[in-house]
Amino acid sequence: EPEVTQTPSHQVTQMGQEVILRCVPISNHLYFYWYRQILGQKVEFLVSFYNNEISEKSEIFDDQFSVERPDGSNFTLKIRSTKLEDSAMYFCASSDPGRTEAFFGQGTRLTVV
Amino acid sequence: QKEVEQNSGPLSVPEGAIASLNCTYSDRGSQSFFWYRQYSGKSPELIMFIYSNGDKEDGRFTAQLNKASQYVSLLIRDSQPSDSATYLCAVKRGTGTASKLTFGTGTRLQVTL
């Protein structure tokens, strides 16, 4: 069964460093998303991406964040100048434009120290 | 007012019983409604979705939607210990679009032997 894959599964970084989280969406999907979940809190939307541009972004997704689809398969989330409060699980998701449901990757646990 | 509200639980049911999970939402523009299951430290896993008023059944799971009351529920029949997880309710404004999912905080279900 096709699935969304994310790498790395766990990333530890020092405060102030830049990190890139990578995702390979399901191959025939065209809508891509990033969500995050701080430990013990709800899953929060960050950004959606379609046709090589951002469709929607939340208040969380400020200038510190950026997304890119560098090639035909990868979808990345870059976090510049990481802060302690960026520590969270980051989930990539994708969906097919003909269907309503989105499927999540297994997540990247980001720990900022 | 929270956008998507769920009782955090834990909801404890004996094995073989019916578990009933509830969710209310505030955005009347919501068109699609989802139930995800999340095991501790894992990503959300789609159980089912619904966008028409009434019931939708899939195996042991039944989703119920009442748009007038802004209420969604999930029934799990013949509950098993493996159903013990956090159940996330999520809503979306569109169908088949890049609209974001808005999640509740989840209800923790414990199925006891």
Query: What are phi and psi for residue B83, nearest 5 degrees?
Result: -80, -10
- Cβ pair B98:A107 closer than 8 A: no
Any chain B CB within 8 A of the CB of A25?
A: no
Q: What is the pLDDT of residue B96?
A: 64
Which residues of chain B does A106 touch, with a Cβ-Cβ cutoff of 8 Å?
42-43
Mean pLDDT, range A1-14, rounded to an integer: 94
Q: What is the pLDDT of residue A60?
A: 95
- Cβ pair B99:A107 closer than 8 A: no
Q: What is the pLDDT of residue B1?
A: 64
Q: Please tell me the distance from the alpha carbon of residue A85 to that of residue A64, in angstroms, as a whole number.
A: 13
Q: What is the pLDDT of residue A97?
A: 78
Is A57 a residue whose pLDDT tops 70?
yes
Percent of chain A predicted with pLDDT > 70: 100
Q: How many CA atoms within 13 Å lie on the side-chain side of B71?
A: 11
Query: What are phi and psi for residue B82, nearest 5 degrees?
Result: -70, -10
The one-letter code for the residue type at B48 is M
Mean pLDDT score of chain B, rounded to an integer? 94
Q: What is the pLDDT of residue A54?
A: 94
For chain A, give me the number of helices (H) and strands (E)?
0, 11
Q: Which of A35, A36, A43, A99 to mutate to test the interface with B (most CBs of B within 10 A)?
A: A43
**pLDDT, tens only, A70-108:** 887 899 999 999 999 999 999 999 998 777 789 999 999
* List of chain B residues with pLDDT < 50: none
Mean pLDDT, range A41-70, rounded to an integer: 94
Q: Please tell me the distance from the alpha carbon of residue A16 to that of residue A80, in angstroms, as a whole number.
A: 7
Q: What is the pLDDT of residue A20?
A: 97
Q: What is the pLDDT of residue A72?
A: 77
